[in-house]
Amino acid sequence: MQTYKMTLQPGTTWVQPAVGKYFMLVECPQQVNVRLKLHGSAQYEATAVDTGFTSDDVEYDVVEIDAAVLCTVKIAVSNGKGSYNRLTGGSVALTGAVQVGTDTTITHVTPVTVGVAATAVVTADASRRGLRLYNASANTIYLGSSGVTVANAAMRIGPGGYVDETQVPGAAWFAIASAAGSELRVQEVR
């Protein structure tokens, strides 16, 4: 794992050559936009993300980051999955139910054909602990809620790209594509 740190000026883009498949925002006091590129083509894009944001199994050779305000950002990149934990003391208070367990089931959902209008990918399901999405098409697929559009999507999967959604996998997910007939393969983890 390699780490990089940069102070971003408002309206500028940090372009960091870095080969990897795993990315993490280690320190990020303000929301930033992240693009992972391979040979000049965007493989993954996330907007308005914070410290702790990760992406894995997305191959890239350049990381681009921009922010609307002055901030110093630290990132970690690696060819394999990694982690970065800076907790050095103190305590964490939890309220409500906390579920700890091991995922035991992978379900292959029938591939979804995504077009140029928002298409339901999966319905909301609180028991779903992970969601894997693979773009099996030659087009770009954008992910979000029921009102997702190409212009407002915060997640983008390039052709052959993959997303492992672990932050809100139980939500209802929708997709829209840059062209009709785009195949999105889906796995649910429980």
The domain that holds 124 is classified in CATH as 2.60.120.770
Residue 137, pLDDT above cutoff 60: yes
Same domain, 116 and 183: yes
Measured CA to CA, the distance from residue 121 to residue 184 in angstroms comes to 8
Residue 86 located in a structural domain: no
Residue 91 located in a structural domain: no
Measured CA to CA, the distance from residue 112 to residue 118 in angstroms comes to 12
Residue 174 located in a structural domain: yes
Same domain, 44 and 113: no
Same domain, 63 and 116: no
- Regarding pTM above 0.85, the answer is no
* Cβ atoms within 10 Å of 111's Cβ, excluding its own: 13
Residue 100 located in a structural domain: no
Residue 99 located in a structural domain: no
> What is the predicted pLDDT for the residue at 163?
92
Same domain, 120 and 180: yes
Query: Are 23 and 41 contacting, i.e. CB atoms less than 8 angstroms apart?
Result: no
Same domain, 74 and 111: no
Same domain, 171 and 118: yes
Same domain, 64 and 112: no
Could you give the 3-state DSSP secondary structure of residue 163? strand
Taking only the tens place, the pLDDT of each residue in 146-178 is: 999 999 998 999 999 999 998 899 999 999 999
CATH number of the domain enclosing 36:
2.60.120
Residue 92 located in a structural domain: no
Last residue of a domain, one of 78, 96, 118: 78
Question: What residues make up the domain containing 58?
Answer: 2-78
Residue 156 located in a structural domain: yes
Residue type (1 letter), 54:
T
Residue 94 located in a structural domain: no
Residue type (1 letter), 90:
G
> What is the predicted pLDDT for the residue at 83?
63
> What is the predicted pLDDT for the residue at 89?
53
- Please give the tally of structural domains in the chain: 2
